[in-house]
Amino acid sequence: MVKHKHEEKLTAKKPTSKKPEVKKPVDKYGVILKRIGIKAARIISRTSLPEIAFISSFIFGHYLLNADFQYPGEIILPIIIFAILATVIFYLMRLITKSWLAARISSLALIYALYSYSYLPRWLQSSGKFFLPKHFETTFSNATLSVVILAILCAALGYGLARLAREAKFMKGLQLHKIVLFAVLFIFAIQGLKVVNKINIYHRQMSYQYPKPDLKRAPGATITKPDIYYFVFDRYGSNDTLQKVYGINNNPLTDYLAGQGFVNRLDAKANYPFTMESISSTMAMQYHTGLMQLFGNAKQQTAFPYRSIFNDPPIAQVLKQNGYIYNQLSSWWDFTRVGVQADGNQTKSFRLRAFGKNYYLSDLTRDVVNKSILSPWLKKGLTFGKTMVIKYDNDNNPRENFYAQEAAVKQIASSPSSVPQFTFTHFLAPHDPYIFDSDGSDPTYDGGRNDYGEDETVKYKEEITYLNTQIRDIMGYIRLHSPNAVIVIQSDEGPYPKEFRFDLSPGHYYDPANLPLDQEKQKFGVLASYYMPGVDAATVQQNITSSVNPFRFILKQYLGYDINMLPDCQFATGDKYVIYKYENETPKLQTNPPAACNSL
């Protein structure tokens, strides 16, 4: 069919006018950042940083559970140690498995197993008895063999999963390595942000420093500067509590002390029912009115303001200004052991020696070490020739710590000194764990605050029975070797009623103000006895009417300071989570409560 010319014109395509392409501007910085990100991701995937981030997330979690009592700097040492261990493990796994993915999976599994070593099955922790001759079986050899077994299992796991990811059809598009990296780094970022948030919330309380005392001497005052001993027997109840609750006649001890020249305050009550408030109040020589004004309305309340008193007690500051040496014979409790600015801490325990330096582990750091493979390894230590590279020692249990404190007191008392000494000793007895039978032997029952093996009242009674022999021994020794020394015996709190034992938590805690009266008296009633050489008993009784007053009286009587005594008041501080909002319990606990307590 032949088309006519006019048809050809009609069917001819019209020329189209193309719009010139507009090139989008290139974001050079975005491209550069993207390339840097890709390169950084590749580098990270070939290093042990994910393993370090992974195990750090668990250490962060441990800190977050105790962030209201522990300083954030306490996580640095365990992170450094585990970072070194994780790095060694990762590159060894890379060498063994020949695969980055296999090395990643196996090293993550192994480092977690070593972190939580104490939770592994007992048969694995004691695997040496299956494979080693009996004379080679030790805690260290068992731990090392367990690590070898775990390393083989984890390497097999990593190799198997890496091969599955490489060969299985359903896994080929999964990009398992990227998923693992993302998950690890995401968890680390979340935990890290939580830590930063906690530090930000707690910053004001964490940075608080208790005011320095501003005291003036009375004109023409006589200054004698005797040695001073301050003993806290934690949770040692009053004679009334011991008789009514535990059936203990404690008159023989208080009669012995009276015979040695002590003045007993038989109706003594703690000013606060918990250790950190009570001891800090005594050493600050003040009620905590200022702390309540500063932090009583805080939604999240921490122990750091109390710790500022423990770290540098006002009474120690005044005495050091007067030429005293300050000795702190610490218990295993952090507040009397870590961060304390004492001249001597002869019983400081939980020491990590590394490259010639000593590091004393906090409760948090010690928990991480003791629950991980680090405990048996570091206790064995590492040496090159005669040089100690690293070793964890002086890991005293509560019983060993008690005897170390007792020996240190006697050493100080019997050592001639040209300067006066102030010695503070916090004995965590009869505080649980119950570590003494009535004759001082190891108990056959469980030492916890429970009725396992024996009723807790019996455990407490047994502990008190032996403890009284040691109190006699210590006081008699000081009186013999340092007869002019001032001695303050004052427990911090009474024993807990059985109804309120076990762990404190938001769902299980108690406010002492809500206790029945007899139980409240049990919690506030304490042992208190004072030896004040050169001062008659009536003067002591007239002035030291409150647990906040012993050091006020000492400074006035022996160092000539113009300082008044404070009324005897009792305050309840809520619970573990509300520790600066005090309630005045004095009217309930005293027949004639001082009116001044209402304004404190």
Q: What is the pLDDT of residues 269-288, one digit of tens each?
A: 999 999 999 999 999 999 99
Based on the domain organization, do 440 and 544 belong to the same domain?
yes
240: confidence class by pLDDT, cuts 50, 70, 90: very high
Of 205, 238, 269, the residue that ends a domain is 205
User: Among candidates 541, 516, 532, 320, which has minimal Cα distance to 419?
Assistant: 320
d(C-alpha 90, C-alpha 95), whole Å: 9
The arithmetic mean of pLDDT across residues 401-407, rounded, is 96
Domain that holds residue 64: 36-205
Lowest mean pLDDT among 21-25, 177-181, 314-318, 361-365: 21-25
Both 191 and 250 in one domain: the answer is: no
For residue 407, tell me if it sits in a domain.
yes
Give me the mean pLDDT over the 173-187 stretch: 86
Residue where one domain finishes, among candidates 135, 170, 205: 205
The whole-model pTM stands at 0.88
The DSSP symbol for 448 reads S
Number of domains the chain contains = 2
- Separation of alpha carbons 394 and 400, rounded Å: 10
Inside any domain, residue 391 = no
Residue 376 covered by a domain: no
Name the average pLDDT for the chain: 90
Residues 243 and 121 occupy one common structural domain: no
Taking only the tens place, the pLDDT of each residue in 92-120 is 999 999 999 999 999 999 999 999 999 99
Mean pLDDT of 35-44: 68
Are the CB atoms for 496 and 561 separated by under 8 Å? no
CA distance 316 to 136: 51
The whole-number average pLDDT for the span 515-519 is 90
pLDDT at 384: 78
92/238 same-domain check: no
Does the pLDDT of residue 24 top 80, yes or no?
no
Is the domain of 106 the same as that of 255? no
Structural domain includes residue 216 = no
Residues 196 and 278 in one domain: no
Q: What is the pLDDT of residue 1?
A: 47
Element (H, E) at 195: helix 176-206
Region 163-180 average pLDDT: 78
The answer to the question of residue 495 being in a domain is yes
Q: Are residues 163 and 264 in the same domain?
A: no
Q: Which of 146, 175, 205 corresponds to the end of one domain?
A: 205
pLDDT-based confidence at 33, cuts 50/70/90? Answer: low
Q: Is the pLDDT of residue 135 over 80?
A: no
- Residue 531 and residue 286: Cα distance in Å, rounded? 21
pLDDT of residue 126: 84
Position 10 scores a pLDDT of 47
Q: Do residue 492 and residue 521 come from a single domain?
A: yes
Domain identity same for 283 and 417: yes
Confidence of residue 301 (pLDDT cuts 50, 70, 90): very high
Domain CATH number, residue 515: 3.40.720.10
> Do 250 and 279 belong to one domain?
yes
Say yes or no: 232 and 84 in one domain.
Answer: no
Res 25: pLDDT: 62
Span 63-79, pLDDT tens digits: 999 999 999 999 999 99
Give a yes or no: residue 12 inside a domain: no
Lowest mean pLDDT among 82-91, 161-170, 304-313, 583-592: 161-170
Q: Is residue 403 part of a domain?
A: yes
469/335 same-domain check: yes
- Spatial neighbors of 72 by CB under 8 A, at least 6 apart, are 63, 195, 198, 199
Instruction: Assess if residue 298 is contained within a domain.
Output: no
For residues 350 and 366, the answer to whether their CB atoms sit within 8 Å is yes
